[in-house]
Amino acid sequence: MGKEASSSFIEDYWQNLKEGIMNYKHKVQYYETDMMGITHHSNYVRWMEEARIEFMKDFGWDYSLNDEFGISAPVISSSCEYKKTTTFGDVIEIEVLVEEYNSVRLKFLYFMYNAKGDVVCIGRTTHCFLSKEGRIIIIKKVLPSLEETLLKIYSLSKETISKR
């Protein structure tokens, strides 16, 4: 958890968000469409995973956490509100925010945009933290530097959401 490194990353990320620059893009693949000619709705959950993994890695939470500290953050719930259809070739920009965080539970909020800037889907995933043995972990106690990072992201996320 390089705190310094991720701190500057956090500033950049939010500066980008303010300017409407998303950090993650997914191009809709042909095999992701269905016979209605649109993206099958099950794929958005997968893109949320793609964007979340990149986002977390950028903030210093690599899958190496699993190896180093034996911490995993399984998905305990997920949801999608489909606002507009998308299809083959569309480039979807995905904004990841933290909607809730309290050291034992983390809720991500995802806004997905098409090239015109329309929101095509709003997603959410909730995660808990587990040790290698499958026990609930309290981040504050186990990884104070991660706690600090997540609290900062949570605070910036709240601010971002409230301004809309």
Which residues are catalytically annotated?
A: 34
66 and 74 Cβ atoms separated by less than 8 Å: no
Separation CA 13–CA 156 (nearest Å): 10
Nearer to a copy of itself, 78 or 103 (CB): 78
Taking CB under 8 A as the rule, does residue 64 contact a copy of itself?
A: no
Q: How far is the CB of 118 from a copy of itself (least distance, A)?
A: 15
**Which residues, other chains included, contact 21 with Cβ-Cβ below 8 Å and sequence gap of 6+?**
none
Size of the site for a copy of itself (CB under 8 A): 32
Query: 97: how many CB neighbours lie within 10 A of its CB?
Result: 20
For residues 47 and 28, give the distance between their C-alpha atoms in angstroms, rounded to a whole number. 10
The stretch among 2-10, 42-50, 99-107, 156-164 that binds a copy of itself (CB under 8 A) is 42-50
| Residues binding a copy of itself (CB under 8 A) | 29-31, 33-38, 40-43, 45-46, 49-50, 53, 63, 72, 74-82, 87-89
